[in-house]
Amino acid sequence: MADQFLRGRVALVTGGSRGIGAAICRALAAAGASVAINYRNRTDEAERLAKELQGKGARAIPCQADVSNTASVTTLVAAVQSGLGPVDILINNAGIAITRGIDDLTEADFDTTIAVNLKSAFLCTQAVVPGMRARKWGRIVNISSGAARGAGAIGPHYNASKAGMEGLTRGYAARLVKDGITVNAVAPSLIATDMMQDQKALVSRIPLGRFGQPDEVAKAVMLLLDNPYMTGQTIAMSGGMAFN
Q: Work out whether the CA dihedral 64, 160, 194, 188 comes out positive or negative.
A: negative
Task: Please check whether residue 88 is in contact with residue 138, taking contact to mean a CB–CB distance below 8 angstroms.
Answer: yes
Whether 2 is in a domain gets the answer no
Give the residue among 117, 27, 39 at the shortest CA–CA distance from 76. 39
Whether 244 is in a domain gets the answer no
Region 208-234: mean pLDDT is: 95
φ/ψ of 182, rounded to 5, equals -105, 145
**CATH code at position 181:** 3.40.50.720
Whether 3 is in a domain gets the answer no
Residues 183 and 169: their CA atoms lie apart, in Å, by: 6
Whether 243 is in a domain gets the answer no
User: Is 1's pLDDT higher than 50?
Assistant: no
* Percent residues over pLDDT 90 in the chain: 84
The number of distinct structural domains making up the chain is 1
Mutual orientation of helices 214-225 and 19-30 as an angle, nearest 10°? Answer: 50
Whether 134 is in a domain gets the answer yes
Three-state DSSP state, 41: coil
Task: Please check whether residue 235 is in contact with residue 220, taking contact to mean a CB–CB distance below 8 angstroms.
Answer: yes
User: Is 241's pLDDT higher than 90?
Assistant: no
Question: Which amino acid does the sequence have at 81?
Answer: Q
> Per-residue confidence at 115, pLDDT binned at 50, 70, 90?
very high
Structural domain range at position 68: 10-237
The answer to which of 19-28, 131-140, 194-203, 225-234 has the lowest mean pLDDT is 194-203
Q: Which contiguous run of DSSP H or E holds residue 235?
A: strand 234-237
Supply the pLDDT for residue 84.
Answer: 98
Task: Specify whether 158 is catalytic.
Answer: yes
The answer to which of 15-29, 152-166, 199-213 has the lowest mean pLDDT is 199-213
If you write DSSP's letter for every residue of 71-87 in order, what string do you get? HHHHHHHHHHHHHT-S-
Supply the pLDDT for residue 242.
Answer: 83
Give Dmax (Cα) for the chain: 52
Residues 122 and 67: their CA atoms lie apart, in Å, by: 10
Supply the pLDDT for residue 197.
Answer: 64
> Per-residue confidence at 205, pLDDT binned at 50, 70, 90?
confident
Supply the pLDDT for residue 195.
Answer: 66
Region 80-95: mean pLDDT is: 98
Q: Which residue in 39, 158, 172, 229 is the catalytic one?
A: 158
Q: How far does Cα 230 stand from its chain's mean position?
A: 17
User: Is 207's pLDDT higher than 60?
Assistant: yes
Whether 5 is in a domain gets the answer no
Mutual orientation of helices 107-114 and 156-176 as an angle, nearest 10°? Answer: 30
Task: Please check whether residue 187 is in contact with residue 159, taking contact to mean a CB–CB distance below 8 angstroms.
Answer: no
Whether 242 is in a domain gets the answer no
Give the residue among 241, 243, 187, 181 at the shortest CA–CA distance from 217. 187
Q: Work out whether the CA dihedral 34, 38, 41, 42 comes out positive or negative.
A: negative
Mutual orientation of helices 120-135 and 70-83 as an angle, nearest 10°? Answer: 40
Region 64-80: mean pLDDT is: 98
pLDDT digits (tens, 9 = 90+) for 150-163: 988 899 999 999 99
Supply the pLDDT for residue 157.
Answer: 97
Supply the pLDDT for residue 196.
Answer: 64
User: Is 194's pLDDT higher than 90?
Assistant: no
